Structure 1
Amino acid sequence: MKLLFRLCYLLCFFQVTADACEAGGIKVNTDFDGASSANLLTECMIDIENQHIRLTFQPENTPINNSPWYAFKISSQQPQNVSVKISIVNGSHRYHPKYSVDGKHWLPLTFTTSDEYLEFKLHSAKHPVWLAAQELITNNDYHLWAKELATHFDIKTSVLGYSVQQRPILKLISDIPQSNKWVILVGRQHPPEVTGAMALFSFAETLLSTSTLAQSFRREHNIMILPNINPDGVALGYWRHNANGVDLNRDWQAFKQPEVKAVDDALSELTTKGHHIVMAVDFHSTHNDIFYTMPHDYGIKQPYLVKNWLNLLDSKYVDFNVIQRPGNNPDRGVFKQYIADTYKVHAITYEMGDHTDRAFIKQFAVDAANTFMQSMLTAQHDQLHLIAKPND
């Protein structure tokens, strides 16, 4: 009898669909931008009797950094409490699960972990609930952000180029005709790294603001913002790579990926026209808040610029340390190294922690941008003073 029941359960109540799975009025689906694509969700099982949902996710390819992304929706015909168990292939749980009832506003879930599962309980109803490893910031969110910026600030929005799957790569420019100096902001090389995206939003908005400092800064510097250079990875719910299965932040020597090639072409075109790249900031997320910098003695212009900036930023905080980690990796093909080697100027990798308080991320980015502008303008003033000073 038990065997007959199990057979009936599997055949009569369990249905696998193209999007995910459905059984007994409970539905799991991934039919939205940023959700885990079909090849990443390898198991989707609904145990109706025990109200359990079991999901298994795998990365787009291996080897890969341990950044196990997942995003899906759950709904049910009748309100009920369900237990969700998530397991990861070729990775371990890095992110703390979050939920949303509208896909925009997110709250943390109470969860437990073991060697095999991450588990949490959820109240499900007809209105779907979004579940994700981190908050969703989709390709459409970037376009909405750019549109909103254009209503407040003088920026130009265009398409830098196209991804492997022909998604547009957004470019925002605030340029002053009399200036030939450029600051470059880059984001979302790695899809799950949304705390870096949050930092980029606030940092960029501060540079573009109407404050006296920002206006003075923009009289001297053009700003190019490339907020999302991996739109395919973002759309497909990838852990790390682009649609070709390549880590974009390892391609800045080979330039084989269209996303990286598009950025390199744009910067090369600027310098061909007599413009100068003077600084670049690449926004990421990792386990902790940290700034990866170039060594001050690497032979780049204004050698102490970044050190002075981050020291100034650190001085504003009593209970938070701005960690600087200088490093030189000439053979890894990372963005900051590419900028330093190609243009002989500073570049940094601005990392926000996976679990850093979201309000702090935004406020810290505002302070980081303001001290960045102060340091850049001070360094420029000092350089002009030295040039103007007569020889002894």
Structure 2
Amino acid sequence: MKYRIALLLVAVISASSCRVELQQHQFPNPVDTTDKEISFQEKKTYPVGDFINIDNEFDGARLTNLVVHNETLVSAFTAPENEPINSSPWYAFRITTSENAIDDSITVKINYPEKYKHRYWPKISYDSKNWTQIDSTSLKISGDTSAAELKIKLVADTIFIAAQPIISSKSVADWSQKLAKNKHAVASSIGTSLKGREIPHLKIGSGKKTIAIVSRQHPPEVTGFVALQYFLDEILDNEISDEFLKEYCLLVYPLMNPDGVDLGHWRHNAAGVDLNRDWAYYRQPEVKTVVTHLVNTVNAENLELQLGLDFHSTWYDIYYTTDRSLKTKNMSFTDQWFEYIEANIDGYRVRDAPSGLRSPVSKGWFVAQFNVPGITYEIGDDTSHEFIKIKSSVAAEGLMKILLAK
């Protein structure tokens, strides 16, 4: 009942004044988001014989130990930053060789602590920028999926192996600056994480009606961030972009957990906390910085928030949406949007999972704080980039057309 009363109060405030005060919120299923003890991996280079090294000395790496059996066989171990934790076993390491390497391949067995299972199909890169999936003939997964074995051909002097393509905080900063070359976009930093990394921000458009977008609360969820990239590309380069961005603006926070991303965490920030459970009391600096900036910007620029989107990854494509019974502002948008997406992608059907206000996640916060729909846009771990681009482009175009028609 308390959260319903809080929601009604926000609705009254929104109706009677343009100013919205940042509030703490009571959710039925609260989560303790105070700092937790954490284990930081040791950055280290492991010699494998005389001519091969394996290391984790780069942003986004995760390799907590390496056991060398011989010059062509090693066991790599990855453990989470702390527990309890979602089963998203992240791994990322680099293999460097000299031209004197005695063999043309090396076998790496990836091992996880008991109770965790292999989740991500390995990706390979020779420059840390261009990635492809490991060929199925080079991968063996144990029957109980508790380990994976890779046979890696040493065809280059540097080879990166990772659970997903590595997109570090620097990569996001570079992408943001490139996007800001568009006349509609401005890039900035709104503060720093617990470990002092920049929290990037993009403002796209000049209108007063506003959409808030967040991403990368959980480090391994790379496909969700890729979806955001394609989504924004379409927002900025569509025949109706100019019209839309005169009436609307997007406040985008593309990397909420830069520490977790660069430290190679499975899920949490540098304080050992799931950021997407801290949208109530704002105990973690990353969440506090983003919500404070968003509310202050809405007030300072007299904006009217219409919608909140949060881009994630999970096992399959799905949208976690606001239960329609909550009767937020602009609630009809969600169903119209899904109808548009289905109508414009042959054979595609939206998987919609509505829920009420339960846990202190971003989706519920948009409802409680602004009385607008919150949608968690989830992309599958293995969804192809080709389909991510198609769906994100259609979704962005549909969003613009539906909102302009209102």
- Structure 1 length as normaliser, TM-score? 0.87
Alpha-carbon distance between aligned partners in 1 of 2:155 and 2:342, rounded to the nearest angstrom: 47
- DSSP 3-state at the match of 1:325: strand
2:108 to 84, 89, 106: 84
Unaligned runs of 5+ in 2: 1-41
Query: Which residues in structure 2 correspond to 1:145-184 (within 5 Å)?
Result: 145-176=175-206, 179-184=207-212
Q: Deviations over 1:343-384 (max 9, x none)?
A: 001120000000011111012101110011111122x2xxxx
Q: 1:64 and 2:64 equivalent? A: no
Unaligned runs of 5+ in 1: 1-16, 381-392
State the shift of 1:212 in Å.
3.0
Q: Deviations over 1:283-335 (max 9, x none)?
A: 000001011110122120122111111111111123222111111233x1100
State the shift of 1:160 in Å.
1.3
1:185–1:281 contact (8 Å) kept in structure 2: yes
Alpha-carbon distance between aligned partners in 2 of 1:153 and 1:201, rounded to the nearest angstrom: 17
Alpha-carbon distance between aligned partners in 2 of 1:126 and 1:297, rounded to the nearest angstrom: 57
Please tell me the residue identity of whatever aligns with 1:344: N
- Partner of residue 223, structure 1: 250
- DSSP 3-state at the match of 1:261: helix
State the shift of 1:18 in Å.
4.6
- DSSP 3-state at the match of 2:181: helix
State the shift of 1:126 in Å.
6.1
Give the aligned length.
354
Q: Deviations over 1:26-75 (max 9, x none)?
A: 21111111111xxxx332012225x1010111101101011110110112
Please tell me the residue identity of whatever aligns with 2:56: T
Alpha-carbon distance between aligned partners in 1 of 2:203 and 2:325, rounded to the nearest angstrom: 31
Distance of aligned partners of 1:102 and 1:254 in 2 relative to their CA distance in 1, 3 Å threshold: same
- Partner of residue 47, structure 1: 69
Query: Over the residues paired in the alignment, what is the CA RMSD in angstroms?
Result: 1.5
Alpha-carbon distance between aligned partners in 2 of 1:371 and 1:125, rounded to the nearest angstrom: 44
Please tell me the residue identity of whatever aligns with 2:48: A
- Partner of residue 28, structure 1: 54
Alpha-carbon distance between aligned partners in 2 of 1:264 and 1:143, rounded to the nearest angstrom: 20
Query: Which residues in structure 2 correspond to 1:1-392 (within 5 Å)?
Result: 18-24=43-49, 25-36=51-62, 41-48=63-70, 51-77=72-98, 78=101, 79-89=103-113, 90-109=115-134, 110=136, 111-114=139-142, 115=144, 116-124=146-154, 127-176=157-206, 179-209=207-237, 211-273=238-300, 274-330=302-358, 332-378=359-405, 380=406
Please tell me the residue identity of whatever aligns with 2:333: L
- DSSP 3-state at the match of 1:152: coil
State the shift of 1:235 in Å.
0.3
- Structure 2 length as normaliser, TM-score? 0.84
- DSSP 3-state at the match of 1:315: helix
1:153–1:208 contact (8 Å) kept in structure 2: no
2:117–2:147 contact (8 Å) kept in structure 1: no
Identity of aligned residues (%): 36
Distance of aligned partners of 1:303 and 1:125 in 2 relative to their CA distance in 1, 3 Å threshold: closer
Alpha-carbon distance between aligned partners in 1 of 2:128 and 2:227, rounded to the nearest angstrom: 20
Q: Deviations over 1:182-216 (max 9, x none)?
A: 1111110000000001000010121122x331211
